[in-house]
Amino acid sequence: MDQAIAPDEAREAWMNDPEVAALRDHLEAHNGIKGLDILMPGDTKHAVDLFRRDGFVVIANVLNDEQTEILRNGCNAVVDEILALDSDRKGNRGSHRYSFGGSSLTRSQLHRPEWQMLLDIPAVTEIVTAIFQSPDYSLRAASGDFCLPGAIEYQPLHSDVRDWLDPKTTPFSAFHDPRRQLTIRDLPCPYVCVNFLPQEVTPLNGPTRQIPGTQHSRTPIPSLADEPEWMRLSTVCPAPAGAIMVRDVRAWHGGTPNIADAVRSIPNLEFYAPWFREPIVPGITYADARKLSEHARRLVRYCVADSSETLVTGPTLRAP
C-alpha cells in the first residue's frame, strides 16, 4: 500500500482543482535552480567551495541501490506510524507536511537502524570533515522531513538555527554576543544538515527551495506574501535517488508543493561543528550505541541515553 496517497475524496478534489492544475503546469515548466551543479563523490574541494558560496551542495551516487532501498523502506515505515495518528493529514509543519524529528518522542530517528546506517557513509564523512576542517564534529540528531501528495501550500522560508533566546522561549539556541556586534550568521558554519534522497526529487514532488548565498545574510527573511517568484522556483531539483544535499542550516530554505503521486522523504543527519553546541535530546540507548562502529559511536557521543535510563520511542504529532 502506498501510505502517501490521501483519502480518495480529498485526493480527487485537489488533483482536479483548476488552480492546482495551473500550478502543476507552471512548476513543470519553470521549477528548479537553473544550472544546478550536481557533483560526484570525491570532488570534495569543489563541493566545499559550492557549499561555502551557496550554503548548500548536491552530491549524487552517495548511497548505492541497496542502501537507497533500505532507507526508503525505513522512511515508509515511519511515515505509516505517523500517519496512523493523523487521519486528517494536518501535519506538524503545515497540511500534509511533517518533520521526522518533530514526529518522534525523542526528536530523532536515531533509534532506527536505517538512520544508523547513514552514520558510516564514507562520502558523508569526507565532505562534513572537509567543511568543518576537523573530524571532531558530533551528531545533533537524525531527523528530516516528508510531505504527502496534497501538500499544495508553500512552507515559509526560514532558517534552522538562531541566536540565543531566553531558555523559557526555547532551549535550542546557543550563540550570544553580549556586545551585540556579532550574530550567528557572522561565524563559520556551526551546524550542517545532510539530507539523503531515498527517491528522485522532481519539480512536482516537493523539492526543497534553497536561496543561494543567504547563510550570512542579516536581511529579514521575506514572508510568503513578500517572497518574489524567483525564490519560489529556486528549488533543488531534479536530483537523483541516492544523492545527498549538504546544507548550512542558516541559509534560507522552505518546503514546496507536492502535487505528484507519492510521498517525498528527505531523512537527514545533523552535525554540530567541534566548537558549537546546543542542548541535545538523547536519541539512542546505551546498549544500541555500543553496537555501532567506532566512528559512529564517536559521532553519537552526545546523543546516548544513560545506561540506567529507558529510552521511550514512538510517533507523536507535536510541533517540532
pTM for the structure as a whole: 0.94
Residue 303, pLDDT score:
97
State the residue range of the domain holding 33: 8-299
Residue 222, pLDDT score:
98
Q: Is residue 316 part of a domain?
A: no
Q: CATH number of the domain that 52 lies in?
A: 2.60.120.620
Q: Kindly indicate the confidence band of residue 84, based on its pLDDT and cuts at 50, 70 and 90.
A: very high
Q: Which of 112-121, 127-136, 174-183, 193-202 has the lowest mean pLDDT?
A: 174-183
What average pLDDT does this structure show over 156-185?
Answer: 88
Number of domains making up the chain: 1
Percent of the chain clearing pLDDT 90 (strictly above): 87
Q: Which of 9-18, 64-73, 290-299 has the lowest mean pLDDT?
A: 9-18
Q: Is residue 313 part of a domain?
A: no
C-alpha span between 217 and 246 (Å, rounded): 19
Q: Is residue 74 part of a domain?
A: yes
Q: Is residue 311 part of a domain?
A: no
Q: Is residue 314 part of a domain?
A: no
What average pLDDT does this structure show over 1-15?
Answer: 57
Q: Is residue 306 part of a domain?
A: no
Q: Is residue 64 part of a domain?
A: yes
Q: Is residue 310 part of a domain?
A: no
Write the DSSP string, the chain. --TTSPPHHHHHHHHT-HHHHHHHHHHHHH-S-TT--EE-TT-HHHHHHHHHHHSEEEE-S-S-HHHHHHHHHHHHHHHHHHHTT-TT---SSSTTEEETTTTBTTSS-TTSHHHHHGGG-HHHHHHHHHHHTSS--EEEEEEEEEE-TTB-SPPPPB-S--S---TTT-S------TTS---GGGSSP-EEEEEE-SS-B-SSB-PPEE-TTGGG--SPPPPTTT--HHHHT-B--SB-TT-EEEEETTS-EE---B-SSS-EEEEEEEEE-TT--------B-HHHHHTS-HHHHHHTTTSBPPTTPPPP--B-----
What average pLDDT does this structure show over 278-283?
Answer: 93
Per the prediction, the chain carries an average pLDDT of 94
